[in-house]
Structure formats: structure tokens, C-alpha cells
Structure 1
Amino acid sequence: MTRANATAIGFVAVLLWALLALFTVGSAPVPPLQLTAMSFAIGGAIGVVWTLAAGGLHRLRGVSWKVYAFGTTGLFGYHLFYFSALRLAPPAQAGLIAYLWPLLIVLMSGLLPGERLRAGHLLGGALGFAGAALIILGDGAGLSGTALPGYGMALLCAFFWSGYSVLSRRIGDAPTETVAVFCLATALLSGMAHLALEETVLPATPLAWASVIALGLGPVGLAFYVWDIGVKRGDIQLLGVASYAAPLLSTLALVLAGLAAPTPKLLVAAALITGGAVLAAMASRRADKDVTQRSAA
């Protein structure tokens, strides 16, 4: 598989995450941790079926328990801190802080072997973050001092996911099938947390059930498998910047579904995010060209 193909596969995760808000709204009134447990159980089951069908079960036996602990910590930790942040702080502001993870991926990826961080990556990440800020902080509200614990949780959330994504490159020999185990373990931990902290509420309508299933199939299922391929074999810096398309596409999906109103800020945000992705792509292309020239020399 080429680096470009792996990057394209990884970007599928961004497209799927753009549907996260839409399906989450549709799944109401299922509480967050219960929703996490249900959707990750579906996502893990998909991985198990795929692994069995492809005859890849033997590849899971030789994987160290440390890899399974790492992956489960990344998925469960991200969602635990994310939901906690949204409960302890204003959702928009906490969401924006949590969305520092694409920029952190760009910055941290420069420490990986064989990767070179260029000015275009940094500028592209900054433009993408500005575009995301326009969307997430659409009401112009500032940060609240009384919500500092929630903001701290949101920052931990950003570090958890960026750290998981970048460090996945260091365990690139671990097969993508391991993600199925990560998902099932996350479902188990989320279910335990749900029983301790929440009241069980089953989906009340066929639409709610369909939304839960769709979450497990896409944003909390297939997305993690294709993301694993992208960050391990693709251009992780370009993927980091391109991830800022998720809040833009998410808002557009809500607009098309009639759950949000279109605003001029969407156009400005789209220009910033697109411009950032283009800059990052140009920087990656120059980096690849330099590597090719050095190899030829």
C-alpha cells in the first residue's frame, strides 16, 4: 500500500467523524457513556467479524498485552475526558479546546522517525484551528473561569487522542485487527462506568435505534480502523491538518438535516480549513520530493 493510498484511507475517518454529531443528536435520549458502550460494542463486533472472515485471528495472538492496553487507554481515555469536559464546561468552548488534537498531531509528528515538520504544516494547522474556532465558537462566547476543571479535561482529551494517533506509528507492526479488541475493551469499560454513573435509557424510537447502529458502524466503528491505517502508513501531518474538516462537514451535515442554520461564518471557516489543508499538502509534497532527491543522490 502506498503512502498516498494510506492517507486517503485515513481521511475516510474524518468523513465518518463528520456524522458523529448528527447521529448523536438522533440517538437521544441515550446517555453518553451508555451510548459509547453500545456503539463501541457494534464497532468491535464489526472488527471481529472482519478478522474472522479474513482469517486474521492468528495475528492477534502474537500481539503484546501492552499494545492492547495502549489502544484501549487511547480510545476510552479520549471519550471519558471528552464527555466529562462537556459536563463540567460550556460545550462549545470545551469542544474547541478538545479540537486542539489535530494541531497537536502535526506538532508531535515532527518527533517521529522519517518525518519532517515544515512551516506549511504549522501554518496549515493554525488556519485549520482558526476555521474550527469560527464554527465551534459561533456565538462569540469567551472562556468561563468557573469551568476550569472542564477545560482541563478537554485539554487532556486533546492530548490523549493526539498521543494515541502519533504513538500508533511507533507500533506500526501491530495489525489493524487489534482495533477490534480496543473497541470491545472500551465498550466494556464504558458500560461499567455507565452502570456506576448513569441511569439506563434505551432508544425510544426506530430513528434513535438506527442512529445508535449508524454510530457503531461508522464514526465509532469503521472510522477507527481506517484511521489506524492512515496514521501508521500514511502522511500523518497532512491527516492532522485535514482533520479540521470534521467540524466543518459536521455542521454542514446538521444544516442539510435541518438541525442547524447556515451562516456566512461557514464560508469563511471553509476557506480557512481548505487553505490550511492545501498548505499542509504542499509542504508534504515538498518533503516527499526532498526525500526522493536524497535517495536518488
Structure 2
Amino acid sequence: MDAQGTQADVIAEGDGQGAAAHSVGRLRATGIGAVAVLLWASLALLTTLTGRIPPLQLTAMAFAVGGLVGLPRVVRGGGALARGLPGGAWVLGICGLFGYHFFYFLALRNAPAVDAGLIAYLWPLLIVVFSALLPGERLRWWHVAGALVGLGGTFLLVTGGQGVHFRGEYLLGYVAAAVCALVWSTYSVANRRYPQVPTDMVAFFCLATAALAAVCHLLFETTVWPDGWQWLAVLGLGLGPVGGAFYVWDHGTKHGDIQLLGTLSYFAPLLSTALLVATGRADASWPVVGACVLIAGGAMLASADALRSVRRRE
């Protein structure tokens, strides 16, 4: 074999190794992002443990905890990363975190919880659809089909198999829930545009969200301070679903499989319900079992690319 042939083989081998490393890194980032889904599953349980603390006040307290958790890493960096942060990243991060929660609570105040929750949970499907707009991403039929099957499972879970009856007097709540879904899906997909922004910066987004939620709380709610174990529940929210989860979600949406993450997000309400059942705060029923089958099936369908990639490496 001549020298040129040998060099070509080396280059090809290097390209193959680079592609494999990229695939492994993408799969790892997807796994990190999926941790957010596990953390969000504890949201309902921890929220019930906080008693009658108003939602905006609870949001402010939990996000303050979430921001303070990540702040030491930013401080050790001397704040240089924050000074060089693009303006668009600031707007996206703050509007994404605060906007989602603001419109979600507005929806719950102006529409039945089942209706609002179902509309708001369109965001995983929207993530899958919007991902087609990203450079280098290709939307396949199994991505959309998996997301739709997962949405069907969520519908069954949220409604308990009883159906939903939309009414005109709740229009404001329905619109707010739709905006909520649009805000979070847009944030998750557009976050891919800022891969150079360190995940540590989520600390600033959390603190800004806490400040905005505190202002809204003072304007619209009456303060109710936690008592006893409720403080631990607030701390748990800040470390987990309303704080810590956004760090791993940030990494996953920037570097992982965004379409698979969107579909896996449908596991959050399912795992949340399972946790409530396990702790005696909800009853097991056939809709839960049916939702489990649909959501798991949808995730398997949407993850066809990742599963093939794993098989190729074996």
C-alpha cells in the first residue's frame, strides 16, 4: 500500500473515531438532560408538602435556592463569564424560566387544573416539532409519532380517562396554558443556539426569576411563611424540580438529543403520579397503567436513532 493510501486510511479512521466520540458525548448529554425529568417527577409531591404557600411566593423561594446552589461556581470564576454572556442568552434564560412559571400559574388561576395542565403539556411535542428548525437536526416520522403517543398517554393520565370539556369562560386560562407550552418549548430549542454559554450561568437566570416572582408575589398574593418541615420541602424544590433540574436540562438541550429529550419529558407526569401513589397521596387506577404503556412506547419509538447508534457501537 502506498503512502497516500495509508494516510487516507488514517484520516478515515480518525474521522470514524471522532464521529463515535461525538455520538457518545451526545448520548451522555441526553442522559444528563433526562435527569431533569426525574427531578420534575417530584414536583407534585414536594409542592403538596409545602402546605398553603402561595405559588408565586413558592416559586421565588425555590428559585432563590436553585440560584444560590450554583452561585459559588460562578463567583470562583470571578464573574467573567457573566460579563461576556450574550444579551440574547440573558433574555432567553430569564424569559424561559420566569415566563413558563408565570403563565402556568395564570392558567391554573383561570381554568380547571386538568384542562390547563393538559394544554401546558403540549411543550414536549412542540420541542420535537421545533427541533426541525435547528441546524444539523432532522425530524423523522418516528420522532413525531413517539411524541404524539406520549401526549396520548399524558392525556389519559391527566384526565383519568374521563375526557376534557373546554368551556368559553376559561379562555384566558387556556390561552395562558398554551403560551406556557410555547415559552418552554421555545426556550428549550433556542437554548441550542448558545452552546458556548456555560451551564453555571443558569444560577443567574434562577436568581433573576426569583426576583421577578417575588415582585409578582408582593403585588398579587399574601405572604405565608413555611412552618417546620415545610422549609425542607421548599429546600427540596430548590435543589430538585424548581432549581437544580434546570442545570441538567440546560446541558441536555445544548448538547444532547433534543427530540428524544422532548419525548422522554412525558415520563414526568407519569413518574409524578407513581410517586404520589407510592406515598399514599393518590390511588392507582387503570389510566395510570395505560399511560405507562403509551408513554414508554412513545419513548421507545422516538429513541429509534439512539438505539440504532448503541447497537452499531456494540
Q: If the TM-score is normalised by the length of the shorter chain, which range does it land in?
A: over 0.9
TM-score, normalising length: structure 2? 0.88
Q: 1:145 aligns with which of 165, 168, 173?
A: 168
- Provide the residue aligned with 2:101 in structure 1: 79
SS at 2:296's partner residue? helix
Percent pairwise identity: 53
Q: Residue 56 of structure 1 contacts residue 177 of structure 1 at CA under 8 Å; is this kept in 2?
A: no
Cα displacement (A) at 1:69:
2.0
**Per the alignment, do residues 226 and 49 of structure 1 end up closer, same or farther by CA in structure 2, a change over 3 Å counting?**
same
Mean Cα deviation higher: 137-146 or 148-157: 137-146
Q: 1:215-234, aligned counterparts within 5 Å?
A: 215-234=237-256
Give the aligned length.
Answer: 287
Q: Distance in 2 between matches of 1:144 and 1:208?
A: 36
- Provide the residue aligned with 1:157 in structure 2: 180
Q: Distance in 2 between matches of 1:102 and 1:141?
A: 20
- Provide the residue aligned with 1:90 in structure 2: 112
Q: Distance in 1 between matches of 2:79 and 2:247?
A: 16
Q: Distance in 1 between matches of 2:138 and 2:108?
A: 35
Q: Residue 4 of structure 1 contacts residue 234 of structure 1 at CA under 8 Å; is this kept in 2?
A: yes
Q: Distance in 2 between matches of 1:268 and 1:119?
A: 23
Q: Distance in 2 between matches of 1:8 and 1:82?
A: 27
Write the letter of the residue equivalent to 1:169.
R
- Provide the residue aligned with 2:150 in structure 1: 128
Q: Distance in 2 between matches of 1:277 and 1:50?
A: 34
- Provide the residue aligned with 1:25 in structure 2: 48
1:93-152 CA distances to partner (integer Å, 9 max, x unpaired)? 100000000000000001100100001101100000000001111143422221111000
- Provide the residue aligned with 2:283 in structure 1: 261
Q: Distance in 2 between matches of 1:124 and 1:170?
A: 25
SS at 2:199's partner residue? coil
Q: 1:284-295, aligned counterparts within 5 Å?
A: 284-285=306-307
Q: Distance in 1 between matches of 2:112 and 2:63?
A: 26
Q: Distance in 2 between matches of 1:130 and 1:148?
A: 23
- Provide the residue aligned with 1:192 in structure 2: 215
TM-score, normalising length: structure 1? 0.93
Q: Residue 60 of structure 1 contacts residue 175 of structure 1 at CA under 8 Å; is this kept in 2?
A: no
- Provide the residue aligned with 1:51 in structure 2: 74
Cα displacement (A) at 1:158:
0.1
Cα displacement (A) at 1:169:
0.1
Q: Residue 119 of structure 1 contacts residue 283 of structure 1 at CA under 8 Å; is this kept in 2?
A: no
SS at 2:133's partner residue? coil
Q: Distance in 2 between matches of 1:67 and 1:3?
A: 22
Unaligned runs of 5+ in 2: 1-23
1:65-101 CA distances to partner (integer Å, 9 max, x unpaired)? 3321221011111000000000000001100000000
Q: Distance in 2 between matches of 1:231 and 1:86?
A: 27
1:188-235 CA distances to partner (integer Å, 9 max, x unpaired)? 00000000000000113x221111110001001210000000000000
SS at 1:267's partner residue? helix
SS at 2:303's partner residue? helix
Q: Distance in 2 between matches of 1:142 and 1:214?
A: 35
Q: Distance in 2 between matches of 1:169 and 1:141?
A: 34
SS at 1:34's partner residue? helix
- Provide the residue aligned with 1:178 in structure 2: 201
Q: Residue 69 of structure 2 contacts residue 239 of structure 2 at CA under 8 Å; is this kept in 1?
A: yes
1:61 aligns with 2:83: yes
Q: Distance in 2 between matches of 1:51 and 1:158?
A: 30
SS at 1:189's partner residue? helix
Q: Distance in 1 between matches of 2:85 and 2:170?
A: 41
Q: Residue 32 of structure 2 contacts residue 249 of structure 2 at CA under 8 Å; is this kept in 1?
A: yes
Q: Distance in 2 between matches of 1:167 and 1:154?
A: 20
**Per the alignment, do residues 222 and 9 of structure 1 end up closer, same or farther by CA in structure 2, a change over 3 Å counting?**
same
Q: Distance in 2 between matches of 1:56 and 1:172?
A: 21
Q: Distance in 1 between matches of 2:185 and 2:53?
A: 28
Unaligned runs of 5+ in 1: 293-297
Q: Residue 20 of structure 1 contacts residue 250 of structure 1 at CA under 8 Å; is this kept in 2?
A: yes
